[in-house]
Amino acid sequence: MDQAKQKVKDAPWWMWGIALLGLALVAGSIAFMLYEAVAGDSSPPDITVHVDSILPIRDGFLVKFRALNEGGSTAEGVTIEGALRNGTEILETSHTVIEYVPAHSERDGGLFFASDPRQHQLQLRAKGYENP
């Protein structure tokens, strides 16, 4: 028992510091999760797609985009579709699927086209998702 008490006194000050850090991390993450559970945003996914750049590549053109989820829930399997229009006529469509777009986050991707998107009207939108 005496030896054990000695050990408590011998524990170096930096060990107590690390222990306090550990306590702060554990308590902090639990508190943050509880806060998110109670007061966090749990609205459905709200995805907008923005064009970052349009580049010519060897086999056509690449439209780089960002899909931004402003909603409070994660969207899985988000289908992004891009359509090239000339007035009401649709010239070409391309699509891709993004695995996950978490809440309040964005993911990047690209769509390939044969015609030059800069010569026509380019419309990008998210078509659908599933709940994880």
Q: Which residues bind another protein (CB under 8 A)?
A: 4-8, 10-12, 15-16, 18-23, 25-26, 29-30, 32-34, 36-38, 40, 74, 76, 100, 102-105, 132
CA distance 91 to 93: 7
Least distance from another protein to the Cβ atom of residue 42, Å: 9
Q: Between residues 4 and 59, which has the closer beta carbon with respect to another protein?
A: 4
Q: Between residues 20 and 114, which has the closer beta carbon with respect to another protein?
A: 20
Q: Between residues 84 and 103, which has the closer beta carbon with respect to another protein?
A: 103
Q: Between residues 101 and 122, which has the closer beta carbon with respect to another protein?
A: 101
Least distance from another protein to the Cβ atom of residue 32, Å: 5
Least distance from another protein to the Cβ atom of residue 52, Å: 14
User: Within 13 Å and on the Cβ side, how many CA atoms surround 38?
Assistant: 5
Whether residue 129 contacts residue 81, with contact meaning beta carbons closer than 8 Å, is answered with: no
CA distance 33 to 27: 10
Q: Of 119, 107, 127, 108, give the one whose Cα is nearest residue 60.
A: 119
Residue 59: CB atoms within 10 A of its CB come to 8
